């Protein structure tokens, strides 16, 4: 009796897999395409000296929220107008909001490199917070 139940469960499982085979193969094909693209990007990045900066900006873009669009009444006329919201501020155009978002992304990426400098070079900051390197000492007695 146990063999009949096992056989029935296997048959139902096989029928279910057969029914959803198109979705499964499509998901596997997308996975394979993403992996092929990732391998291509890695190969391309080996010869791109700015690849690290591009990856840092891409990671910072993922961490910064997007610009949202909302309709609200105008302050003067009361008619509905479209406003763009980014980090709690309202912008009149999407270009202004995207510029503010881009500035926030670049600031986050810049902070990452400042943190790297602090980590590997130590806490050597000037008054304005920019990292400074030690100045070389010059010998006043140089011979020509």
| Residues shown for the chain | 144
**By the 8 A CB rule, do 4 and 11 touch?**
no
Taking residues 66-71, what's their average pLDDT?
91
For residue 140, pLDDT beyond 90: no
Question: Which DSSP helix (H) or strand (E) runs through 90?
Answer: strand 89-91
Lowest mean pLDDT among 50-64, 80-94, 114-128: 114-128
Confidence of residue 120 (pLDDT cuts 50, 70, 90): confident
Q: Determine contact, residues 67/93, Cβ cutoff 8 Å.
A: no
Segment 9-61, tens digit of pLDDT = 999 999 999 999 999 999 999 999 999 999 998 898 898 888 888 889 999 99
As to burial, measured by CB atoms within 10 angstroms (0-12 exposed, 13-18 middle, 19+ buried), residue 124 is exposed
Average pLDDT value for residue range 80-98: 91
Which contiguous run of DSSP H or E holds residue 72?
strand 68-73
């Amino acid at each position: 009796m146990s063999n009949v139940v096992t056989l029935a469960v296997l048959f139902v499982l096989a029928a279910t897999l057969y029914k959803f085979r198109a979705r499964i193969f499509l998901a596997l094909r997308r996975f394979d395409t993403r992996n092929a693209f990732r391998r291509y990007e890695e190969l391309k990045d080996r010869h791109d000296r700015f690849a690290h900066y591009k990856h840092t900006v891409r990671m910072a873009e993922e961490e910064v929220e997007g610009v949202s669009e909302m309709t609200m009444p105008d302050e003067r006329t009361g008619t509905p107008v479209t406003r763009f919201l980014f980090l709690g501020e309202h912008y009149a155009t999407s270009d202004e909001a995207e510029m503010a978002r881009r500035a926030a992304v670049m600031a986050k990426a810049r902070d990452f490199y400042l943190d790297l400098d602090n980590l590997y070079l130590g806490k050597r900051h000037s008054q304005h917070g920019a990292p400074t390197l030690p100045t070389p000492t010059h010998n006043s007695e140089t011979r020509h």
